[in-house]
Amino acid sequence: MTHSFATSLDALGEWRGALSERVDTLARFLAEHDLAQGAAAEQIGSLRERLGNEKLVVAFVAEFSRGKSELINAIFFADTGRRILPATPGRTTMCPVELGWSADEPPSLALLPIETRLEGLSLGELRLQPRAWRRLELKIDDADELARSLLEVTRTEWVTEAQARALGFWDDAHPEDNPPRDDEGKVEVPAWRHALINYPHPLLRQGLVVLDTPGLNAIGAEPELTLSLLPSAHATVFILGADTGVTKSDLAIWRDHLGARAPTRFVVLNKIDSLIDPLATLEQVEAQIAQQQRETARTLGVGLERVFPLSARQALAARVEGDEMGLNESRLPILEAALGAQLLPQRRQVLEQVVQEGAQQIENHVVRHIGDARRQLAEQTLELRGLRGKNNAKVRLMIKRVDAETAEFEECTTLLQAMRAVHGRMLKDMLIDLSSDRVRDEVAEMQASMGASILNLGARKAFLALCERLRGLLAAAQRRNGEIREMLAASFGRLNAEFGFSLAQNKPLDFDRFTGELQLIESNYVQYLGLTLALRLAQPKFMEQFRRMLISKLRVVFENASSELELWNKAVSAQVDSQLRERRKAFKRRRETLEKIQSAAGELELRIEEIETQDQRLIEFQAKTSELAESLREYALVAPFSTDAAFDKLDLPLFEDAVPVGDEAAMQRQA
Ligand SMILES: Nc1nc2c(ncn2[C@@H]2O[C@H](COP(=O)(O)OP(=O)(O)OP(=O)(O)O)[C@@H](O)[C@H]2O)c(=O)[nH]1
Ligand SMILES: [Mg+2]
């Protein structure tokens, strides 16, 4: 079988599945031996979640009728034996269509009515409101029925000019872009604002999300597409028609939406089959394709190796018929190999890092926990050995000593309380600054200085000032985290020295990720404010939508920062609590042991033996934990494409020498 993007993504999915199994094994072992408490349990949960939820988004962008939907069909859905997404001449896909899989829902098509635009709610907010969507169940076993259901994404409505204007599809300043009118003066607009297809395709199950878009420069394009969906895609495939070349509107889309995102762009010169000419030789057609490829690369300002001439239609037909030669002639496999060569190593790297860090943290935690327990056992053994040959009076004395030590130890609670109070206060202050209310207030301040329109000259300045303030908040949070650590260091020092704790500092919080996300939002919005598109959407209603969209984007960043902060602090408290608990238990155990020894002869040796066995078991647990964590880390390091036996059988090219992201020359060699 020919190598395809689909099969290599499959291999990546298997690798991820195997990683999850190893995480499960580790988690099970820890749970069985009572080692998965507090921070360790949370770290396992977060590792599992990140492994399971990491998405890979591939977006297809172009002017209408260039073949986006056809290409998606050829790459992802040929195994159904037919064309699944509607692809016909003229405008077909009328709204953005997101294909993905969530096991929480049945296979379905969810459609967001276009009228929701009138309410000013952003797509992000509406995603959380199931009632806003029309939901159709999908019959996935019946390809014809499935294709029929998906026709819904092509639905349009006829509305009055006033309605079209309110929905953002009519602009008096640019009549050439306005949609057609019928005899009664009604205007054709899309019926849906967004469509979500929940479909258990093997690739979608593995976290792939495919985004099909309607012709983008169409007036009234969803701002969220420009501001959020496209910028966060891991790869964007821009499609041109070999029959049309690079037109003015193609160029406008490229400039407005893709121009700045170099490492993730792929340019497809589709429909090369239309260049076949009965009056020309194959060589002449070949030369013409090469010529078009060069021209396209030059016009768009990308490397020649980034332009992929192919025929989506031919590829789909060949795959459906199992025609290997036809598939090669379509040249689709070259694009798929390039997509795979770029995306899979990149994705593997992200997952690898998640696993490496997670496994290390879990192991550190468990090792520390076991270390504490062993230290206490050692103290106890020492004490018991000292009792050998001693009489009952001596034992009674020992019990008194334990009681005194216990009382002395309990004095640490004053210090602990003081530490917790200060810590809680500091944390609360930090969380207020990262709260949704704070974000909302900051955006309101921006809006006050902007006025009612996002178009006035001050808008850009006000927006940049907002970003500056928000960056300041994140920086302040990071600084305060440093202060918390200093405070804790002082308290931990005393607790360790005076009360026998062995508390260790956690790694400082790193907010770079959130600062980076903020930066991305900033550059996208700045670009958007400069778009002609924004001009057309500058009505008050869209201003409201813009504001809400901005708030919901920013809120995600700040909410994630808050939860990371909370997780960090929970880990601190969990460590203190668990050591406090263990210390108390140890005192209690010591007293009970002495009481038993007092009441029965022979008990002493028995207890010493018991403790030694316990210690031996802890040594074994620690070794086993390290072994499991190490196996997880090691597995995360191996390239899934070379070591997985099942994958080797598929006879696919190896990706061991993973291409660094953005290394175009190397990528070309590999492709
Ligand atoms: N000859 C030829 N036709 C193609 C090829 N790919 C797509 N088409 C045809 O071009 C037309 C448009 O294809 P679509 O996939 O609907 O294009 P799209 O980019 O999704 O268009 P919109 O959904 O309207 O934005 C359809 O009739 C396809 O069959 C190709 O490689 N060769
Ligand atoms: Mg389409």
pLDDT tens profile 213-241: 887 655 556 777 777 788 778 889 999 99
Whole-number Å distance, alpha carbon 40 to ligand 2 midpoint, is: 47
Angle at which helix 603-637 crosses helix 332-385, to 10 degrees, equals: 160
Say which ligand is closest to the CA of 332. Answer: 1
Q: What is the CA radius of gyration of the chain?
A: 31
With a cut of 90, say whether residue 88 has pLDDT above it.
no
With a cut of 90, say whether residue 668 has pLDDT above it.
no
CA atoms of 496 and 159, how far apart (whole Å): 74
Instruction: Write out pLDDT tens, residues 46-61.
Output: 888 888 777 888 999 9
pLDDT of residue 534: 52
**Region 419-438 average pLDDT:** 92
Token pair listed for 366? 């468990």
pLDDT of residue 651: 35
Q: Whose CA is nearest to atom 9 of ligand 1?
A: 67
CA atoms of 254 and 459, how far apart (whole Å): 25
CA atoms of 435 and 427, how far apart (whole Å): 12
> Any residues with Cβ below 6 Å from ligand 1, and which?
62, 64-70, 87-89, 91-93, 214-215, 270-271, 273-274, 311-313
Which atom, in ligand 1's list, is nearest to the CA of 94? 23
Whole-number Å distance, alpha carbon 520 to ligand 1 midpoint, is: 32
Whole-number Å distance, alpha carbon 554 to ligand 2 midpoint, is: 31
Whole-number Å distance, alpha carbon 127 to ligand 2 midpoint, is: 22
With a cut of 60, say whether residue 636 has pLDDT above it.
yes
Instruction: Write out pLDDT tens, residues 230-272.
Output: 877 888 999 999 988 899 888 888 887 776 665 678 999 999 9
Q: Residue 667 — very low, low, confident or very high, per pLDDT cuts 50/70/90?
A: very low
- Residue 235's H or E segment, with its range, is strand 235-241
Q: Which residues, 6+ apart, have CB-to-CB distance to 529 below 8 Å?
A: 454, 459, 460, 463
Instruction: Write out pLDDT tens, residues 178-191.
Output: 787 888 889 988 99
| Listed residue (423, 503, 653, 536) closest to 178, CA to CA | 536
CA atoms of 656 and 611, how far apart (whole Å): 49
**Region 433-449 average pLDDT:** 89
Query: Helix (H, G, I), strand (E, B), or coil: what is residue 381?
Result: helix
Neighbours of ion ligand 2 (CB under 5 A): 68-69, 92-93
Whole-number Å distance, alpha carbon 7 to ligand 2 midpoint, is: 24
Residues in the chain: 671
Instruction: Write out pLDDT tens, residues 550-580.
Output: 888 898 899 989 988 988 888 888 889 988 9
Query: Helix (H, G, I), strand (E, B), or coil: what is residue 98?
Result: strand
Whole-number Å distance, alpha carbon 216 to ligand 2 midpoint, is: 11
pLDDT above 90 covers what percent of the chain?
Answer: 41
Q: Which range among 20-24, 175-179, 519-523 has the greatest average pLDDT?
A: 20-24
Are 234 and 351 contacting, i.e. CB atoms less than 8 angstroms apart? no
pLDDT of residue 659: 31
| Residue ranges in 55-189 assigned as alpha helix (H) | 68-76, 123-127, 143-150, 161-167
| Residue ranges in 434-457 assigned as alpha helix (H) | 436-450
Q: Residue 3 — very low, low, confident or very high, per pLDDT cuts 50/70/90?
A: very low
Say which ligand is closest to the CA of 71. Answer: 1
Pocket of ligand 1, candidates 61, 63, 64, 65: which has the most ligand atoms within 8 Å of its Cβ, to mutate?
A: 65
Considering only residues 409 and 392, tell me which one the structure prediction assigns the higher pLDDT.
409
Q: Residue 454 — very low, low, confident or very high, per pLDDT cuts 50/70/90?
A: low
- Residue 266's H or E segment, with its range, is strand 265-270
pLDDT of residue 664: 39
Residue 184: C-alpha distances to residues 156, 160, 161, 181 (Å): 16, 9, 11, 8
Residue 209: C-alpha distances to residues 72, 83, 205, 224 (Å): 12, 19, 9, 17
pLDDT of residue 660: 33
With a cut of 70, say whether residue 4 has pLDDT above it.
no
Say which ligand is closest to the CA of 270. Answer: 1
What is the model's pTM? 0.75
pLDDT of residue 663: 37
According to DSSP, the residues that pair with 60 across neighbouring strands are 212, 237
pLDDT of residue 212: 92
Which atom, in ligand 1's list, is nearest to the CA of 91? 24
Considering only residues 197 and 216, tell me which one the structure prediction assigns the higher pLDDT.
197
Whole-number Å distance, alpha carbon 496 to ligand 1 midpoint, is: 70
Instruction: Write out pLDDT tens, residues 406-424.
Output: 999 999 999 999 999 999 9
Whole-number Å distance, alpha carbon 515 to ligand 2 midpoint, is: 36
CA atoms of 178 and 188, how far apart (whole Å): 10
CA atoms of 317 and 308, how far apart (whole Å): 19
Residue 160 — φ and ψ, nearest 5°? -75, 165
- Minimum mean pLDDT among 97-111, 410-424, 592-606, 620-634: which range? 592-606
Say which ligand is closest to the CA of 90. Answer: 1
Pocket of ligand 1, candidates 94, 313, 316: which has the most ligand atoms within 8 Å of its Cβ, to mutate?
A: 313
**Region 115-132 average pLDDT:** 86
Question: What's the mean per-residue pLDDT of the chain?
Answer: 84
pLDDT of residue 661: 33
Pocket of ligand 1, candidates 60, 69, 216: which has the most ligand atoms within 8 Å of its Cβ, to mutate?
A: 69
Whole-number Å distance, alpha carbon 499 to ligand 1 midpoint, is: 74
Token pair listed for 8? 């290599």
| Residue ranges in 500-602 assigned as alpha helix (H) | 512-529, 532-536, 540-599
Token pair listed for 563? 């939860």
Specify the residue for token string 């990706």: 655
Q: Whose CA is nearest to atom 11 of ligand 1?
A: 89
pLDDT of residue 653: 33
With a cut of 70, say whether residue 581 has pLDDT above it.
yes
Pocket of ligand 1, candidates 92, 237, 272, 319: which has the most ligand atoms within 8 Å of its Cβ, to mutate?
A: 92
With a cut of 50, say whether residue 275 has pLDDT above it.
yes
Question: What letter would DSSP give residue 509?
Answer: P
Instruction: Write out pLDDT tens, residues 476-526.
Output: 999 999 999 999 999 999 999 999 898 888 888 889 989 988 998 888 777
**In whole angstroms, what separates CA 200 from the centre of its chain?**
19
CA atoms of 303 and 281, how far apart (whole Å): 28
Q: Which residues, 6+ apart, have CB-to-CB distance to 10 below 8 Å?
A: 202, 203, 206
Q: Residue 655 — very low, low, confident or very high, per pLDDT cuts 50/70/90?
A: very low
Say which ligand is closest to the CA of 215. Answer: 1
Say which ligand is closest to the CA of 67. Answer: 1
Q: Whose CA is nearest to atom 13 of ligand 1?
A: 67
Residue 16: C-alpha distances to residues 178, 204, 355 (Å): 47, 14, 10
**Region 201-213 average pLDDT:** 85
pLDDT of residue 541: 61
Whole-number Å distance, alpha carbon 209 to ligand 1 midpoint, is: 21
Q: Whose CA is nearest to atom 23 of ligand 1?
A: 93
The b/e string for 85-106 (b: 16+ C-beta within 10 A; e otherwise) is bbbeeebbbbbbbbbbbeeeee
Considering only residues 305 and 225, tell me which one the structure prediction assigns the higher pLDDT.
305
Whole-number Å distance, alpha carbon 311 to ligand 1 midpoint, is: 10
Q: Which range among 37-41, 218-222, 514-518, 615-619 has the greatest average pLDDT?
A: 615-619
CA atoms of 439 and 668, how far apart (whole Å): 44
Residue 547 — φ and ψ, nearest 5°? -65, -45
- Residue 308's H or E segment, with its range, is strand 307-309
Residue 77 — φ and ψ, nearest 5°? -120, 15
CA atoms of 481 and 159, how far apart (whole Å): 55
| Listed residue (247, 271, 258) closest to 301, CA to CA | 258
Considering only residues 642 and 592, tell me which one the structure prediction assigns the higher pLDDT.
592
